[in-house]
């Protein structure tokens, strides 16, 4: 954002903010009527999510859009965040590019927007209406409500109306309501799509969307808040010239050496001296007196000096099972067959900026089989909805020959086809966007490489899954053998030989050679009854652990025929000494207003059985930090 800020600061001298806005609509996300609506919602929701996260509150966000006139919509976004103290409200909503984040290096959604004040201005410019803002902080018994407009000449807020109100049932939170020109459309670039995708990567949020009176709710899939992102000092490699100049100007340090040491990460005194030497600037120079040319020399010097890579612990990935939960929460209506264990790559660095890639993949079910796969792109938990063609994510996908992983792809190049959804999340303290519009990630080789690696990990899981599916079908045929044919062979041969029918369990296990898990779901007045039958069709006695992933944190276990060894986001049972051809059944009942789509058979995991011998359940994912029971193989 820094460069826009500077540009704006410069331009402010000559032209009004309003004019600047008009000229730069495309950068600010208001270049079409449809997009304007999405941008307005996005600015509000991104702010709300950031605020809630910072205050460690599980977000509850309500978005309302109502058509009031032709191509004129009343939009409101409400959250349960910490609220904004009264004196700051006008600045946040009525001053363009106000905010604390512009010089901070951290993974936040905010770095991607121009700020909610742009929405206020857009509304004002297109409909002439003011924005109504309500805010309540925990410490006060009442909320403040004010009507705000923006003085476009001086970039200063104007408060038109102000009152104190009681906010029923609200302890703290924010709400703003504005009227803007726009066009509400369905499809790939709709508000709905934006909110849906936001829900996927923010499974800890509850998002309600009311569109002309119709309500859609994206339920909260987890109580786990994302880890807080840490603000870090910038790394000298990769910093923009303007930012460096500004930092130098504002620095309170008295020498260049001390400035470098204290305001940048990974620079020691000796490194700082080395840089000064290379740059040919006296280390005792006051940073406030540095010229732009000096700054250029410092950046050149930084390239020559060996600096430790920046710290990467400032990033907060979504992480494995939460990605799955998010995807499942939104895709459950499509009944996918398979959720590949999502990949969270280790953090990497591109020109001084730490970044981290995450990938998820969903396959099968009612996902459309014809046409290209659906790609969901995210940067710092914000959906990227435009410029798909020019995005590093798309390049990485096209680089892979998907045919070897089980997807169709003409000539092993380009967009693969098939019933799959691929999610790619890039988290960074500075996401490398292609342009100021921040709609696509630039083709940085390090970033593409990481995305590709993440994709391949998921793709390998998909291939394994497809192979296991094939095996499952084969094993299913074997059921006919052991359940129907073999007993008949036994009976007939015994009859011909004139002896007793022999015991078959050993022969049976030799034919099957797997542990088979059968699941059955039944619904009865909002109560879900689940039978999980585990059959040991191997010739050896087996111990294993069974896990059931609950769809929602509030899902309540009503009953279980066997007491779970553990209860939480998932339930766990220890199944000990299951003899060859022995079956065991776990019968559970859930309450919590579950719908059919909430449970789909991809929620059962078994731990302790080799993947290749397990049919009908997934092996326990690696990233479930679960204290494992001792697994021993019986005789």
Partner 1 sequence: MKEKYKDRYEDALNELKGIAEKFYEQLEDGEVPNMRIPTRSKSNIELDRREGVWKLGDSKTRRSAKKLKSARMLLRTLYMLELIQDMIEEDKSSTLREMYYISEGWDKAEFSKQSESDSLAEDMELVTGCLREDFKLRPEEDGARLIGDITVEEVNRKGEIREINCRDDVGDSGYTIPYNVESDKVTFGDVNVDFLIAIETGGMFDRLVENGFDEEANALLVHLKGQPARATRRVIKRLSEEEDVPVVVFTDADPWSFRIFASVAYGAINTAYLSDFLATPTAEYIGITASDIMTYDLPTDKLSKNDRKALEQELEDPRFDTDFWKEEIETMLDINKKAEQQALAKYGLDYVTDTYLPEKLEQMGLM
**Interface positions with partner 1 (CB under 8 A):** 477-478, 480-481, 484-486, 488-490, 492-497, 499, 502, 504, 506-507, 510-511
> Smallest distance, Å, CB 631 to partner 1?
26
Q: CB of residue 476 vs partner 1: minimum separation in angstroms?
A: 10
User: Cβ of residue 610: shortest distance to partner 1, in angstroms?
Assistant: 19
Shortest separation between residue 493's beta carbon and partner 1, angstroms: 4
Which residue, 169 or 498, is less far from partner 1 as judged by CB?
Answer: 498
Cα–Cα distance, 426 to 434 (Å, whole number): 14
The distance of closest approach from Cβ of residue 602 to partner 1 in the complex, given in angstroms and rounded to an integer, is 27
Buried b (16+ CB within 10 A) or exposed e, 462-476: bbbbbebbeeeeebe
Picking from 427, 581, 588, 564, the residue whose alpha carbon sits closest to that of residue 515 is: 581
Q: How far is the CB of 616 from partner 1 (least distance, A)?
A: 18
Distances (CA, A) of 475 to 203, 470, 511, 546, 618: 36, 9, 9, 21, 16
Q: Minimal distance in Å, beta carbon 495 to partner 1?
A: 8
Q: For residues 207 and 514, which CB has a smaller minimum distance to partner 1 in the complex?
A: 514
By beta-carbon proximity to partner 1, the closer residue of 49 and 508 is: 508
Type and span of the H or E element at 255: none
The residue among 175 and 478 lying less far from partner 1, judged by its C-beta, is 478
CB of 364 to partner 1, least distance (A): 25
**57, two tokens:** 């509150």
For 437, counting Cβ atoms within 10 Å of its Cβ (0-12 exposed, 13-18 middle, 19+ buried), the class is: middle
Alpha carbon distances (Å) from 92 to 86, 130, 188, 319, 491:
10, 14, 30, 32, 83
CB 7 within 8 A of CB 27: no
Q: Which is nearer to partner 1, 301 or 508 (CB)?
A: 508
CB nearer partner 1, residue 166 or residue 488 = 488
| β-bridge pairing 156-165 and 542-549 | unpaired
- Report the candidate in 448, 426, 457 with the shortest Cα–Cα distance to residue 355: 426
In the complex with partner 1, the residue whose CB is nearer, 15 or 481, is 481
Q: Which is nearer to partner 1, 135 or 536 (CB)?
A: 536
Q: Where are the beta strands (DSSP E) in 190-304?
A: 206-211, 214-218
In the sheet that holds 143-151, the strands lie side by side as 156-165, 143-151, 131-136, 173-181, 72-79, 60-69, 206-211, 214-218
CB 536 within 8 A of CB 579: yes
Shorter beta-carbon distance to partner 1: residue 55 or 486: 486
Q: In a 10 Å sphere around its CB, with 0-12 CB exposed, 13-18 middle and 19+ buried, how is residue 541 labelled?
A: middle
| Smaller CB separation from partner 1, 444 or 490 | 490
Taking the least distance from each CB to partner 1, the nearer of 415 and 490 is 490
Q: Cα–Cα distance between 381 and 372 in angstroms, integer? A: 24
Specify the residue, 270 or 493, whose C-beta has the smaller distance to partner 1. 493
SS3 23: helix
SS3 93: helix
3-class DSSP assignment, residue 434? coil
Q: CA–CA separation, 535 vs 583, rounded Å?
A: 4
Closest CB 533 distance from partner 1, rounded Å: 22
Q: Give min distance, CB of 635 to partner 1, in A.
A: 14
91/99 Cα distance (integer angstroms): 8
Both tokens of 319, joined, read 């992480």
**Of 290 and 508, which CB lies nearer to partner 1 in the complex structure?**
508
Nearest approach, Cβ of residue 469 and partner 1 (Å): 18
- In the complex, the smallest distance separating the C-beta of residue 208 from partner 1, rounded to whole angstroms, is 52
Please, which residue, 502 or 568, has the CB nearer to partner 1? 502
Q: Measured from the CB of residue 475, what is the shortest distance to partner 1 in angstroms?
A: 11
CA distance 201 to 207: 12
Query: Nearest Cα to 34, choosing from 237, 189, 148?
Result: 189
Q: Cα separations (Å) of 578 from 530, 541, 542, 544, 572?
A: 21, 5, 5, 8, 16
- Min dist CB 494 to partner 1, Å, is 6
Q: Give the helix, strand, coil percentages of the chain, each rounded to 5.
A: 35, 25, 35
């Amino acid at each position: 954002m820094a460069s826009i800020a500077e540009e704006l600061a410069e331009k402010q001298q000559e032209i009004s903010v309003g004019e600047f806005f008009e000229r730069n609509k495309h950068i600010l996300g208001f270049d079409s009527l449809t997009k304007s609506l999405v941008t307005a919602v996005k600015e509000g929701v991104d702010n709300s999510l950031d605020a809630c996260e910072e205050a460690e509150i599980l977000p509850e966000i309500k978005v309302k859009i109502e058509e009031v006139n032709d191509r004129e919509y009343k939009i409101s976004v409400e959250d349960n965040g910490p609220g904004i103290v009264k004196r700051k409200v006008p600045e946040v909503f009525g001053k363009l590019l106000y905010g604390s984040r512009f010089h901070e290096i951290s993974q936040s959604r905010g770095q991607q927007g121009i700020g909610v004040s742009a929405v206020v201005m857009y509304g004002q410019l297109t409909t002439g209406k003011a924005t109504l803002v309500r805010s309540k902080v925990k410490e006060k018994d009442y909320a403040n409500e004010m009507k705000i407009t923006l003085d476009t000449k001086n970039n200063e807020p104007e408060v038109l109306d102000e009152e104190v109100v009681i906010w029923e049932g609200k302890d703290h939170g924010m709400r703003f309501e504005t009227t803007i020109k726009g066009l509400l459309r369905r499809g790939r670039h709709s508000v709905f799509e934006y909110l849906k995708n936001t829900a996927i990567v923010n499974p800890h949020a509850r998002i309600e969307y009311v569109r002309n009176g119709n309500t859609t709710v994206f339920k909260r899939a987890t109580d786990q808040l994302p880890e807080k992102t840490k603000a870090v000092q910038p790394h000298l490699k990769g910093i923009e010239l303007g930012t460096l100049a500004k930092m130098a100007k504002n620095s309170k340090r008295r020498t260049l050496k001390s400035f470098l040491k204290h305001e940048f990460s990974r620079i020691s005194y000796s490194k700082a001296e080395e840089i000064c030497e290379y740059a040919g600037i006296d280390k005792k120079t006051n940073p406030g007196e540095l010229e732009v040319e000096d700054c250029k020399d410092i950046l050149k010097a930084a390239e020559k000096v060996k600096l430790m890579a920046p710290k990467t612990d400032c990033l907060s990935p979504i992480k494995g099972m939460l990605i799955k939960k998010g995807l499942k929460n939104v895709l459950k209506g499509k009944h996918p067959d398979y959720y590949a264990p999502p990949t969270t790559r280790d953090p990497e660095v591109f020109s001084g900026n730490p970044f981290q890639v995450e990938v998820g993949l969903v396959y099968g079910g009612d996902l459309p089989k014809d046409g290209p796969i659906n790609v969901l792109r995210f940067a710092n938990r914000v959906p990227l909805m435009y410029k798909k063609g020019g995005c590093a994510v798309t390049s990485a996908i096209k680089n892979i020959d998907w045919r070897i992983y089980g997807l169709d792809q003409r000539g092993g190049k380009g967009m693969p086809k098939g019933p799959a959804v691929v999610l790619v999340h890039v988290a960074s303290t500075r996401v490398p966007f292609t342009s100021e519009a921040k709609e696509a990630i630039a083709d940085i080789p390090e970033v593409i490489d990481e995305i590709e690696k993440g994709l391949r990990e998921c793709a390998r899981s998909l291939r394994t899954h497809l192979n296991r599916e094939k095996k499952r079908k084969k094993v299913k045929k074997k059921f006919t053998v052991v359940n129907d044919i073999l007993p008949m062979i036994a009976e007939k041969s015994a009859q011909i030989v004139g002896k007793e029918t022999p015991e078959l369990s050993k022969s049976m296990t030799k034919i099957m050679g797997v542990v088979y898990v059968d699941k059955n779901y039944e619904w009865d007045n909002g109560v879900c009854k689940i039978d999980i039958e585990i059959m040991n069709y191997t010739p050896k006695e087996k111990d294993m652990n069974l896990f059931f992933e609950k769809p929602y944190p509030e899902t309540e276990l009503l009953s279980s025929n066997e007491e779970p060894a553990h209860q939480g986001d998932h339930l766990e049972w220890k199944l000990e000494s299951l003899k060859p051809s022995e079956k065991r059944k776990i019968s559970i009942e859930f309450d919590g207003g579950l719908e059919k789509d909430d449970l789909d058979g991809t929620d059962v995991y078994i731990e302790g059985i080799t993947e290749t011998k397990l049919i009908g359940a997934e092996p326990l994912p690696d990233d479930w930090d679960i204290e494992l029971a001792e697994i021993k193989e019986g005789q």
